[in-house]
Structure 1
Amino acid sequence: MAIILRLDRVMADRKISLNRLAEQVGISTVNLSNLKTGKVKAIRFSTLNSICTVLNCQPGDILEFTLDE
């Protein structure tokens, strides 16, 4: 996939746990874990908005585009 999720890196920089972020964003830890590990095909803008609000970051800090080879 050409979009890589860098949520784990941003979470580590902010020193926030999966459980705490899930609670503050309002999604299950399982869904957030799937986002963190890149096992999803889509993300809702409302979820991305909440994650960026809690982590005080931009969507580009979490999402990275690379060309498929």
Structure 2
Amino acid sequence: MIQARFDDLLQARGRSLYWLAKEAGVAYTTLWKLRAAESQGISFGVLDRICAALDCAPGDLLIRAPDARKRVRKRH
């Protein structure tokens, strides 16, 4: 599962998710869904605007974490 690290990046900058929505020109609900890991994806354009607003690279924002909802089958 890919997760967005909004909380860490915004806290380090003293900013809010609402500020990011306005600064990046992205709907607050879109950011909220990304933050809550309830989104299925993100366009490169939106990712670029978020990274520009936060002055970060995509790798600073996105992390890969184990998905507790899925079981992965091992191949033998």
Common topology (TM > 0.5): yes
Within the alignment, does 1:52 sit opposite 2:45 as a pair? no
Structure 1 counterpart of 2:33, one-letter code: N
* Equivalence map 1:1-69=2 (5 Å): 1=1, 3-66=2-65
- In the TM superposition, what is the alpha-carbon distance from 1:67 to its structure 2 partner? 5.2
Q: Distance in 1 between matches of 2:5 and 2:21?
A: 16
- In the TM superposition, what is the alpha-carbon distance from 1:25 to its structure 2 partner? 0.9
TM-score by length of 1: 0.83
Higher relative contact order (CA 8 A, sep 6+): 1
Deviation per residue, 1:8-65 (Å, 9 max, x gap): 2111111111111101111211111111222111011111101110100111111112
Q: How much identity, in percent, do the aligned residues show?
A: 35
**More helix as a share of residues:** 1
Q: Distance in 1 between matches of 2:34 and 2:65?
A: 17
Which segments of 5 or more consecutive residues in structure 1 lack a partner in the other structure?
Answer: none
TM-score by length of 2: 0.77
Structure 1 counterpart of 2:3, one-letter code: I
